[in-house]
Amino acid sequence: MNVTLSLLVEKLNLQVGCGEEKLNQEVLGGYVGDLLSDVIANSKEGDLWITRQSHQNIIAVASLKEHIGIILALGKKPDTETLEKASSEGIPIMTSELSGFELSGRIYGLMSGD
């Protein structure tokens, strides 16, 4: 099953902070982590990144690694500067009340057809 960011927004009730025009991208993989150096070292181009971090540095990491988007877990909300930076870099930011664990499991289930 092809899973796009727009499908995740719908199925997981994600709130879109910015990047609506890029929600048609297909999710091929993902990474969950809050330590920026770990995300830089271990995530891949095209990943969807799930984190609790909400400051501007996440945009630099996502841009460097060419992630397709970021989901902020556990109700974290990005500030205006982070949203502006994400918009200028073309990186969708979505938010959820769910934990990173639950988000990962649900996304994996959708991707594997469960």
Q: By residue range, what is the domain housing residue 11?
A: 5-112
Quick check: 100 and 32 in contact, CB under 8 A? Answer: yes
Give dist(CA 44, CA 8) in Å, integer: 19
What is the number of domains present in the chain? 1
CATH number, domain containing residue 56: 3.40.1390.20
Instruction: Put the strands of the sheet holding 69-72 in their side by side order.
Output: 15-18, 93-95, 69-72, 47-51, 29-32
Residue by residue, pLDDT tens for the chain (114 residues) are 799 999 999 999 999 999 999 999 999 999 999 999 999 999 999 999 999 999 999 999 999 999 999 999 999 999 999 999 999 999 999 999 999 999 999 999 999 987
Is the pTM higher than 0.85?
yes
